[in-house]
Amino acid sequence: MHRVRLVFDIPCIGFARRYKRVLEAKGIEVIIPSDGVARHDLSLHAYAVSRNAIVVTTDKRFPDPKIVLPMYTKEGKKPKYEKWHTALMKELRRLRAGFNATDKSDPFHY
């Protein structure tokens, strides 16, 4: 099975640190780039492409490949990490559409 690699943009690094073990248990490689790489979108994009990874960001304008997590809830607050985890798993699930949607053995089933 191909291991998914995720590179986290600056607004998502706290989430990545908090959920690193959970994501790695699901077979996802968590990559937290250095400050120099993460500071500029183009260098972060180039880094992700060189690692064959997907960038997790809150920036809708970030170049692909990316997964965009919601920046605000309907109430205008930053979402809790649990909501980001759910959104991330749903997006990974969508990207891996080859799996049966009801297959609970799929690590991205949520």
Tell me how far apart the alpha carbons of residues 30 and 12 are, in angstroms, rounded to a whole number.
12
The Cα–Cα gap between 69 and 59 comes to: 8
- Res 85: pLDDT: 96
What's residue 97's pLDDT?
Answer: 63
Torsional sign, CA 54, 55, 61, 67: positive
pLDDT tens by residue, the chain, 110 residues: 468 999 999 999 999 999 999 999 999 999 999 888 878 899 999 999 999 999 999 999 999 999 999 988 888 888 899 999 999 999 999 887 654 445 555 554 44
> Which sequence spans correspond to the domains of the chain?
4-95
Separation of CA 64 from chain center: 12
